[in-house]
Amino acid sequence: MTILEVRNLSKVYPNGTQALKSVTFSVEKGEFLAVIGLSGSGKSTLLRCINRLIEPTSGTILFEGQDVTHIKGEELRRYRQKIGMIFQQFNLIGRYSVLHNVLMGSLGSIRTIDSLLGRFPASLRQLALQNLEIVGIADKAHVRADSLSGGQQQRVAIARALMQEPLMLLADEPVASLDPATSHSVMRYLGYINREIGTTIICNLHFLSLVREYATRVIALKEGEVVFEGAPTDITEEWFRHIYGDEAVEVEIQ
Amino acid sequence: MCGIPMSSIKARAAQFAIDWLAGTYLVAMLHRILWAEVIMGVPIPFAWGGPESASLIEGVPDWLLYLTVGSVIAAFASVTKASLALVVQGKLPHSSWQRTVALHQGALLVSLTFITGWVVTKISLVDMFSGERLQAAGRIFSSMLQPECSILPQALNAIVETVYLAFMATVLAVPASFVLSFLSARNLMKSKFWTRAVYLSLRTLTNFTRSIEPLVWAVIFTVWVKVGPFPGMLALMVHTISSLTKQYSEQIEDIDPGPLEAIASTGARQLQIVWFGVVPQVFIPFLSFTIYRWDINVRMATVIGLVGGGGIGTMLNQYQMLAQWHEVGLIVLVIAGVVWVMDYVSARIREALV
Ligand SMILES: Nc1ncnc2c1ncn2[C@@H]1O[C@H](COP(=O)(O)OP(=O)(O)OP(=O)(O)O)[C@@H](O)[C@H]1O
Ligand SMILES: [Mg+2]
């Protein structure tokens, strides 16, 4: 069953940069889709268009069959609640505790006044602890978020996204600022969420070795266009040079 | 294909305008100050309409003449590239004659400005160091160095009024500045047309109110609500609102947009996005600015009394009018002490915050 369908999506930034050119693809429920491509090929732009952090210039985005390209206000909020997002820079609130950060994922589902006064229902606190359990750092619930290592912070960010009980998770280079070992640990949590919870995942990645290990399908962007679509094993030497340019040499991440 | 690009025309126009202004200024100062006042000793009024006879060319206003010569200089600069504007922008090669000419022009401009300043402020060493003047100085210093301590209780009362005046002005300004700063932060307001309109009008308003000094506000408010600490507090409050709004909003514009984006992506409401995405990042700097502002307000509150804004300044004003310099001396000591303590305490608190 198709969860997301992107048709002819284009994005031109106000300064004239065309970041996406008529991108078309669809994602099945339960897939782990990797998006690859050179720096500047439009990967981040694509993910941000999907949850409408930036406005697409033209094209259509269908989520569970509903056209979400132009929804606004309350409708857009409800849509975003169904989609978690994690970022390369983790984007936690450093001064807050880990638990408080995870609770930020449930802001959309409680009254504004309660959230401003810090009144999160006990059931949500319970859920937050469970989600921290899933990413293996429940013991850090009460320390300040900025005292954690990068890998731990990214796991907190994953727990925050899980608070939304999302149908789909967007991950924008989630391991690009982590060392190889930590990268694998974070990727394994994403893999676990994908397989065990059944969350659909779209993940921008730099390393093909990670793509081969965790993704079920790949699309490659080049200068804003989809130039490859297929299984991770289909990326041959030739495709690799086409996507990354002739100079490129594949690096392994152990 | 379409000739010279627009940006280059703009740059040329800006360059011409700068050279024109500089040239006009140079000619005007050469004539009015260096020639008329310094060399000939016949001052011409600075602005429009000197005596008819002083006009360089009969029937033609001097300023028109200056502008004309200025435009000739600018045209020369534009053609030969011996331009002050280009030198300032660092666009002239190092050993070119154009650069040398422009640099000399710049040096002349700076020296003329200094001479003008000297003439205009009527700086006079005679007025400061002649025997009679030195005696006057001795009188006031010796009186002030023997402060009249009997008015100490009265002075302490007045300075307490001043400190609280500054405190209330700060405290009442903080909530207003807090709200206004979000509405005048570019990064939060640029998205929609109407939010950008709010941003622009607020920016204009606070820039305008901030450009009016608290002393002037005090004059306005003493007319409005009569003399006393209340108008002084209002004056400081208005100025504090516009200053803090600026400082706060600049801090908001400096935040890391990451957490903001992350919270927006969870489907949070607008108010939640701002509250959790922005406030934790700016809280400590806001606190620090606020304490510093209270410190500044205490200083300002001491002088605001001079125009009827209450507190120690009003008292100082009274004794100064009566030429009771011993009393003035004591008041100055009390002000210095309190300002020093405030300065020290505020610095220590702000250090502890970061
Ligand atoms: N806010 C913006 N305004 C203007 N141009 C932008 C903006 N954001 C991105 N771009 C441009 O759009 C193109 C695609 O950028 P994008 O960030 O989507 O690429 P990316 O594939 O995520 O690259 P990276 O691997 O470096 O993160 C680039 O040319 C970039 O310079
Ligand atoms: Mg990117």
Chunk chain A into consecutive blocks of 10 residues (it has 254) and report each block's average pLDDT, rounded to whole numbers. Answer: 95 94 95 94 96 95 95 94 95 95 95 92 95 93 94 95 96 91 92 94 91 94 93 85 76 62
Q: Same domain for A73 and A99?
A: no
Q: Same domain for A101 and A45?
A: no
| Residue A222, domain member (yes or no) | yes
Q: Among the three residues A165, A192, A220, which one is the final residue of a domain in this structure? A: A165
Q: Among the three residues A142, A165, A188, which one is the final residue of a domain in this structure? A: A165
Nearest to B261 among A53, A78, A92 (CB): A53
Model's pTM, two decimal places? Answer: 0.82
| Residue A184, domain member (yes or no) | no
Q: Is the pLDDT confidence value at B54 over 50?
A: yes
Domain count, chain A: 2
Q: Among the three residues A117, A145, A165, which one is the final residue of a domain in this structure? A: A165
Q: Same domain for A9 and A55?
A: yes
| Residue A186, domain member (yes or no) | no
Q: Same domain for A70 and A115?
A: no
Domain housing A250: 1-82+168-175+201-254
Q: Same domain for A77 and A94?
A: no
A41 lines ligand 1 (CB under 6 A): yes
**Which pLDDT band, with edges at 50, 70 and 90, does B171 fall under?**
very high
Q: Same domain for A68 and A27?
A: yes
| CATH number of A217's domain | 3.40.50.300
Q: Same domain for A133 and A71?
A: no
| A165–chain B Cβ distance below 8 A for any pair | no
Which tens digits make up the pLDDT trace of B325-347?
999 999 999 999 999 999 999 99
Q: Same domain for A9 and A75?
A: yes
Lowest mean pLDDT among A43-47, A162-166, B27-31, B124-128: B124-128
Q: Same domain for A76 and A116?
A: no
Question: What is the chain B residue with the closest CA to A172?
Answer: B262
| Residue A185, domain member (yes or no) | no
| Residue A122, domain member (yes or no) | yes
Q: Same domain for A18 and A65?
A: yes
| Residue A180, domain member (yes or no) | no
| Residue A207, domain member (yes or no) | yes
Q: What contacts 24+ positions apart, CB below 8 Å, involve A226-233?
A: A226/A23, A226/A24, A226/A25, A229/A25, A232/A34, A232/A208
| Residue A251, domain member (yes or no) | yes
Cβ distance B269 to A112 less than 8 Å, yes or no, reads yes
Lowest mean pLDDT among A243-247, B29-33, B110-114: A243-247
Q: Same domain for A23 and A56?
A: yes
Q: Answer with the residue of higher pLDDT: A209 or B239.
A: B239
The nearest CA of chain B is from the CA of A47 a distance in Å of: 11
User: Quick check: ipTM above 0.85?
Assistant: yes
